[in-house]
Amino acid sequence: MVLSAKTGAAQAPDTASGDGVLRSGEIVAVEGWPGEWELMGPGPGPGVWTVESARLEDRVSAQAALSALQRLADAPHVRRGDLVMQSYPEQERAAVVGAVFRLGQWVAVKSYTLPDGRVWRTMDAVDRLEVVTPEQLTAAVRLEVARGTHRGRIVQAVVSSRAGQFRVVCRCAPGAGEICRDGRKVTWCPSLTSARDLWDWHVHQ
């Protein structure tokens, strides 16, 4: 299957149907070359992409003809530069994707910038990652709440099937600090109002 560059087309579907806009960071095959390659950028010149071998170390840079680039049937859904979160509802921290490569399964190098400016790098299975936008992170509610001796937070989930829902935590609660009602392990609230109600219930126990 040979891909052609087409502007204005929608993002390619998961099926390797052929057409679709190629984007930097995608992992592709190059006809006649061994291994898998990351698209680093178009050029130099027309009809050519600069590619690097899709692995962690000893990456080789090369120029590949556009007509030789082949989309992978199981291409990873994240690419270099994506903002990602581990896909579980309690996750609050996002990281930026670096190299993506196959290590049995697809894995991504992720970088977190710590509050003091240092960068923390770690690796994660791509299956566990969800791409998010800076706007999603900014919009997520993170409220400090306090009443009497209770010190807590109301936190909105950004990813997973709980995205948009709220959990309430307090330092006085055991484990991860989640406040629960009705004997559930974690009580998720559908709205900020119901989360505040749960907090009020908690501080009046």
Q: Which positions lie near Zn ion, rule CB under 5 A?
A: 150, 170, 172
Decide whether 16 or 203 has the Cβ nearer to Zn ion: 203
- Nearer to Zn ion among residue 118 and residue 184 (C-beta): 184
The two beta strands, 105-113 and 129-132, are unpaired
Distance of closest approach, residue 177 Cβ to Zn ion, in angstroms:
8
**Residue, CB closest to Zn ion:** 170
In the complex, least distance from residue 148 CB atom to Zn ion, rounded to whole angstroms: 9
Cβ 199 to Zn ion shortest distance, Å: 9
Distances from the Cα of 178 to the Cα of 24, 25, 29, 163, 164, angstroms:
41, 38, 46, 17, 17
Residue 43 structure tokens: 């050029």
Nearest residue (CB) to Zn ion, 87 versus 194: 194
Query: Of the two residues 106 and 166, which places its CB atom closer to Zn ion in the complex?
Result: 166
* Residue closer to Zn ion (CB basis): 75 or 172: 172
Distance of closest approach, residue 151 Cβ to Zn ion, in angstroms:
7
Under the phi-then-psi rule, with left for phi > 0, alpha for psi from -120 to 50, and beta for the rest, what region is 160? left
Q: In terms of CB distance, is 16 or 180 closer to Zn ion?
A: 180
- Peptide bond before residue 44 is cis, with ω within 30 degrees of 0: yes
In whole angstroms, the minimum distance from the beta carbon of 191 to Zn ion comes to: 21
User: How far, in Å, are 34, 89, 108, 186 from residue 128 at the CA level?
Assistant: 28, 12, 10, 21
Give Cα separations from 2 to 8, 27, 147, 164 (angstroms). Answer: 19, 15, 63, 40
Q: How far is the CB of 149 from Zn ion (least distance, A)?
A: 7
| Phi, psi (deg, nearest 5) at residue 53 | -60, 135
Strand ranges (DSSP E) for 104-181?
105-113, 119-125, 129-132, 142-147, 150-156, 166-170
